[in-house]
Structure formats: C-alpha cells, structure tokens
Chain A
Amino acid sequence: MDKTPLIDIKNISKQYKGATFLSLDKVNLQIRTGEVYGLLGPNGAGKTTLISILCGLIKPTSGEVLISGNSFKTHAKEIQKSIGVVPQEYALYPKLTAKENLFYFGSMFGLTKSELKPIIISHLDQLGLLPFADKKIKTFSGGMKRRVNLIAGILHNPKLLFLDEPTVGVDVQSKQAITAKLRELNKSGTTIIYTSHHLREAQDLCSLVGIIDSGKIIAEDTPSKLIADTKEARNLEDVFIELTGRELRDYA
C-alpha cells in the first residue's frame, strides 16, 4: 500500500450559518492511497459534512483539505476529475433510462458516447442490471437504483471514490453486489471513503475506520485493532457503542 497521503485534512472546522455548535471541530486526518476508509458515527456526528467538504460541495469554515496535494481553492477541476461521488440520495433522473442517466453523467467527465458504451455495459452487467438498461429509473426498486447510483459515480474510473451510505435501504442481495463491486474497485487501485450505519458491513469491507462524534474523530484504526483494543468488544458495533454511548442521537 502506498504510504503517500491521498487525502490530507488539516485542522478543518465547519460551523453552519445560524448554528450554535461546530459540525466539524478541528479535524485532522490522513488517508493513504489504496485504503477503504470507513467513516462511522451516529446521526449528526459530522460524517456527511466531512464527505461534502472532501467532495468540494461545501467549504470549511477554517482549515484546509488537500487531495493529491491539491486544494479545491486552486485546483478544483483537477480534483473533480480524479474523484467519484455516490451521494446518499438516488442522484438519478427518474424519467430517463438507466443507460441514458449513465451516458449523461459520464459525459460530464468528458467521456464520449463510444468510450462510455462498453464501460456502462460492463458495469451494468456486473451489477445484474443489463436486462434493465433501457428501463426508466422510476420503475426500479430501491436496490436497483442504489446500484445504478454507484455506477454513475465510477464511470470515469476515479482514483478516489466517496460513498455516502451506499447500501442504505437495500436488500441483502443488492448490498452484497454493491460491496463486492467496491472490493473489486479497491483491488484495481481505487481508494474508497465511505460512510455507513451498517457496522458489520464496514468491519468486513474497511481497511481503516474512523469514528466521528460531535464533529471530532474520536478513534481511528483497523477494525480488528479497534475491536482488540476495546474491552469486551466482539465486533465493531460493540466498539461503536463503547465510544459513542447508548444515548439516542435524535436531532432536528
């Protein structure tokens, strides 16, 4: 594994306008090439905010993020070409077919139709969606939409892939198909940063896990090390409860 930090998060904080608290509080993090990094935390912990900053969707209040040594302030285009994003929502046009959606989003990275065609067919086939390639997204089940959502983020073969809860609300089969695809992508050199509430899935998939709570990274290590270092913990869920508590995290 390459030891050069692909992502270098330097002391970033984020306070939304009108908020009385920091969503991110002086977060420092380094993620190296080839990792599958699981960003785990309860609701409102700051996961989506951190991912949004890393994708360039929002700006931090203070601090700096470097991706491959580049900052969004100066090299936004270069960074955006090298990253893939799979948002939490089904970020697809419901009235277009799966293929039309994928052609459209692929073209945003400068790929031509002829370049995209074999890529799209290959991904659809791998994720069991080829028979539905010409069906409209609005007719798809949640699991099918999640799989198309993933493909839309990887068409340009990004070296860094951000996934915000990619398996939320899907059946076991779809979940397995998605995680298998992520493993394959990682194997072929894609660094993956992902958030999830499925701790079992994170434990199996991630090479490194960061647990975030109240805007701070409170623990970071391999899943096995975190489990070993936590008293009476049998899995990542035990570690998570131990670190973040049993208190409900409802917020509005």
Chain B
Amino acid sequence: MPIVLVVTVTLIQDATFKSVSSSSINILLVDQDKGKLSDEIKKSFSEIEFLQPISELDNVPLTEDKARLLVASGDYQLAVVIPEGLSDELQNQIDKNITKILEEFEGTVDSLKISGVEEKSPSNKVVKLYFDPITQETFRSSVIFAVDKLVASIETKSIYEAFEKELGESESLKSFNRDNFVKYDQINPSLSGELVLPNSVQHNIPAWTLFAIFFMILPLSLNLVHEKGQGTFVRLQTTPINYATIIAGKAFLFLLVSLLQFTLILLLGLYVFPKLGLPVLDLGGHLGLLYLVALSSGLAAIGLGVLLGTVFSSHEQAAPFGAVLVVLLAAIGGVWVPVFAMPDTMQIIAKISPMNWGLEAFYDCFLRKGSLIDILPEIGLLIGFFISTIVIAILYYEKKKAV
C-alpha cells in the first residue's frame, strides 16, 4: 500500500512541478476590444503551453454572460474579459504621455497650460477575470500576475513605437533594445554545490516514504494490543525473556519491513517512475545517508508504536488514536504543506513532529545534497525520540505490574 500511495501522489502532483506540462488549462477569452491589445493578449496566451485560450464556442464568439455562466457552472476555471476600446484607450494614453514628454522636452508645456488646454482624464478600463470558486489563491495570483505582466509589456512596446513615430524613424531608434533589461535565472542551491532540479519525484518520495514509515505505528501498536488480548503476551511475560527483548524482536522485524519498503520505493523511483512518464529519482547524496535517515525514522516510528501498544489495552483505543496521530504528525510535519508555508505558530509546532525531523533530513539528502554533518541534528533527534519512547514504555510497563 505505501508503494501505491507514493506512485499515486507523485503522479497527481507531477504537473505542479513541471515547467512544461502535458495537461493544459482551457481559459475563456471574451474579446470586446477587438484591437491590437486583445490580439497581443490572445497571441501571448496561446504561446503559453499550459494555457489554451478559447474565444469561440461552436463558431460563435464568446460573450461575457456566456463566459460567466460557464465559469459559474464549473465547466471552465477562468474567463478573461477584455473590455471594449481597451486598445484605443491604451494607445491614446501612451500618445498623450509621449506628446507631453516631448513638449516638456521642447519647453512648450507652459504655453499649453497658459492657453488653457484641458487634459482629459483617462477612463479606467477594467479587465475582468472570472474565477471558478474552486480555484486556489495561488492560481488566481499567478493568472493576475501573468495578465498584468502581459499588458505591461504590450504597453512598453507601444511606448517605443510611439516614440519612433514621433521622433521619426532613424537607424539609431531602430537599434533600441526592446528586450527585457532584467532577466531571471532560477537557481536551486545545494549544500554540495551540485545542480539540483526539484520535481515531483524528489519531493514526494521522501515525504510519502516517511509517511509510510510512520504508518508502522499503527500495525505495531495493534500487534502489541492484540497480543495482550489473545493472552500470548501473558505467556511471553512469564518466560525468562525480558520485556525489552520481546520489544526488540518486534522492533527488528518492523524495522526490517520499513527498510525493505524504503528500498522498494527507491527502486520504483529509479526504474518504474520513468516508465510512467515521471522524472527519474536522483538519489542525491550518498545512498548510505538515505538509509541512515530511513533507519532513524523507522526507529522513531517503532518507539512511538511500542509506547502506544504498551499504554493502550484495546484495539478500539489504539486503532483510531494511532491512525489520527500519524495523520496529525504528517500534517504538522510538513508532508502535505511545506513548513515554510505554514503560519508562524504552526512552524514552531512543526518542529516537535518527528516526521518533520525525518523530512528535513531526507530533503537535505535528496534536494540539498547534504552530508552526514548536515543531517546529524535530525538523526540525533530521531534516535533520541526512539530511546525516550522505549524507556517511557518500559517504565510504564513496570509501573503497571505494580498497580
């Protein structure tokens, strides 16, 4: 089941990590402007591979009402309405501004003011964006940002053209560099200095593998509770084997299973994921470090499982508590939502989740190419957690005998 979980989540989340996605989002584009600006917007949208602008349905141009209804019914997630006269209005504003600048440059501005020429205030045109209520805020922000950037670049282009027109075409003007002066280079720094490319596999394998390792809490605690219920625990207690040895035997078995599970997931990432169209898993640092993290996380999970199995006496107590606890630790540990994206209080709480320690150590290995020194604090916490929970379980067990 953990393998199925890792594959499913990775496949689902793959698109969010890809810069070029095979799936595209259809957006409705209502062109009331029918001018230069709307043509540019349409052209730019169609150049973005994950966006598929639709201006007509059944050969009928879209209207705002139709688009609004289609978004409201959830058939489409976004509609962009470009208002009538936007191109002309933009061009007018640009021409006016250019003229003003040139007049100022030529020193004629005062005469204009003196002669009482009134400046017509611009009518603010509104580009309407209809969003399906299910779309998340991040998607909305991205779209608004993209549209804004698009309009700004078209505006800049128009300003250049207006300048050219006013000043007359000359070779020197034609050689104006219209490219963006500031460019962006995305760099994912690693502790070793090697290039690391984040993708769904690199993120999901550590997160969900850890979730699977910690899910061991449930079968282990239930196994201990079950032993109590069926009487075998009583028999074991009366043998010369002490409680710690009985627990160690179980812990060893569960640890073996969790490491085997981890190995299978790594093999899956290396050999099966590429066949499913997913990126191949980059093991990052040393394989030994990954196993050290898996081992420490497994021990922490076993410690917690043993503690729950010792404290609880019935299946009804252990099963729901264990299941909810694992989900809770995963949630606060950053398996679903990255810790940096959590509110301040939750970021502090996240640090008490052993799943967060394991996740950070895995990220150090998988994404930051860290060394043993980098993961030692997390390893120390996980091992410390294991020792503490086992000691508490043994003390509780001894105390219970005296009750």
Q: Which residues of A come within 8 Å of B, CB atoms?
A: 16-17, 55-59, 77, 80-81, 83, 85, 87-94, 105, 108-110, 152-153
Contacts and interface: CB of A to CB of B under 8 A. Distances in A.
Nearest to A108: B239
A57 B235 contact: no
Contact of B232 (A17, A81, A92, A109): A92
Which secondary structure dominates chain A's binding surface?
loop
Contact of B239 (A17, A80, A90, A94): A80
B267 interface: no
Nearest to B240: A80
Size band of the B side of the interface? Answer: 10 to 19
Interface string B390-403: 00000000000111
Given A85-B234, A87-B231, A90-B230, A58 B239 contact: no
B235 A87 contact: yes
Given A16-B403, A17-B403, A59-B401, A89 B239 contact: no
A143 to B, nearest CB: 17
A151 to B, nearest CB: 12
Contact of A91 (B230, B240, B401, B403): B230
Contacts of B401: 57-59
Interface in B97-117: none
Nearest to B237: A57
Contacts, number: 54
A40 to B, nearest CB: 21
A81 to B, nearest CB: 5
A173 B201 CA distance: 64
B236 interface: yes
Which secondary structure dominates chain B's binding surface?
helix
A108 B403 contact: no
Interface in B202-241: 230-232, 234-241
Contact of B238 (A85, A88, A89, A110): A85
A87 B239 CA distance: 13
Given A80-B239, A109-B239, A110-B240, A59 B234 contact: no
Contacts of A56: 237-238
A81 B239 CA distance: 7
Contact of A57 (B230, B232, B234, B241): B234
B383 to A, nearest CB: 29
Given A16-B403, A17-B403, A55 B230 contact: no
B100 to A, nearest CB: 88
B234 A91 contact: yes
B240 A109 contact: yes
16 contacts: A56-B237, A56-B238, A57-B238, A57-B401, A58-B402, A58-B403, A59-B401, A77-B240, A89-B231, A92-B231, A93-B232, A105-B239, A108-B236, A109-B239, A110-B240, A152-B235
